[in-house]
């Protein structure tokens, strides 16, 4: 396995620490610069054994991941549109909490925040389409099962946390708490998982 994973660049929701989830929030200027820098990082990597153009390039279908992917490809010297999308990579949904900060949620639902703090991996926020990390991990298992060649992926913080759980064997609640940078590239091989 050879999989490079990039989190989408910063959005205004990220900057404001709002729960973004499956909402389609665009990149801000900082996020665009992060995406370009990640593309330059990919282009400057030691030879991975095949040209970057020969990787399978796949992104979550949300706008912030697609824009990140296009900027990454541009900075790596590739056509912006040479990738596909996969709905399995969409960020977990925070349901009714999307658009709020955790402080705002705590003001009206302190009991739910306490439940979340006791076991974040299995906690599901209120709302029809809300998901837990455990639910997201089932989607990511299906995505990983479909990876059959070297791949470059642009996804979300929650997706990357589940990769640390599934591939890096990080414990459930510990994985759910990992800080995921937007200006680094994650490398996953048969030998392990780590930032480059």
Q: What is the pLDDT of residues 75-117, one digit of tens each?
A: 999 999 999 999 999 999 999 999 999 999 999 999 999 999 9
Higher pLDDT, 87 or 48: 87
Residue 157: inside a domain: no
pTM: 0.96
Asked whether 13 and 23 are in contact (CB, 8 A), the reply is yes
Q: Is residue 51 part of a domain?
A: yes
Residue 86 is assigned to a structural domain of this protein: yes
Question: At 20, which CATH number?
Answer: 3.40.50.1240
Average pLDDT over residues 27-54: 94
182 falls within a domain = yes
Length of the chain: 196
pLDDT at 46 over 90: no
Query: What's the pLDDT at 166?
Result: 97
Whether 186 has a pLDDT exceeding 90, the answer reads yes
Containing structural domain, residue 106: 2-148+166-195
* Residue 155 domain flag: no
Q: Which of helix, strand or coil describes residue 41?
A: helix
Judge whether 65 lies within some domain: yes
183 located within any domain: yes
CA distance readout (Å), 42 to 5, 96, 184:
11, 37, 10
> 139 near 105, Cβ under 8 Å?
no
Q: How many domains does the chain have?
A: 1
**pLDDT over 90 (residue 47):** no
């Amino acid at each position: 396995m050879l999989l490079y994973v990039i989190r989408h660049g910063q959005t205004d929701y990220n900057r404001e620490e709002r729960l973004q989830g499956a909402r389609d929030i665009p990149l801000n200027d900082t996020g665009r610069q992060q995406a370009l820098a990640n593309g330059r990082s990919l282009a400057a990597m030691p030879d991975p054994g095949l040209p970057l153009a020969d990787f399978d390039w796949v992104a979550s279908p949300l706008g912030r991941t697609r824009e990140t992917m296009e900027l990454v490809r541009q900075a790596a010297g590739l056509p912006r549109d040479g990738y596909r999308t996969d709905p399995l990579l969409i960020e977990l949904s925070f349901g009714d909490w999307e658009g709020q900060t955790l402080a705002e949620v705590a003001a009206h639902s302190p009991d739910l925040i306490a439940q979340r703090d006791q076991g974040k991996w299995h906690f599901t926020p209120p709302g029809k389409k809300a998901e837990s990390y455990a639910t997201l991990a089932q989607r990511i298992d299906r995505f990983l099962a479909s990876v059959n060649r070297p791949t470059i992926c642009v996804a979300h913080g929650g997706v990357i946390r589940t990769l640390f759980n599934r591939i890096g064997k990080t414990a459930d609640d510990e994985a759910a708490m990992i800080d995921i940078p937007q200006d680094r590239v994650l490398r996953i091989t048969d030998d392990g998982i780590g930032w480059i």
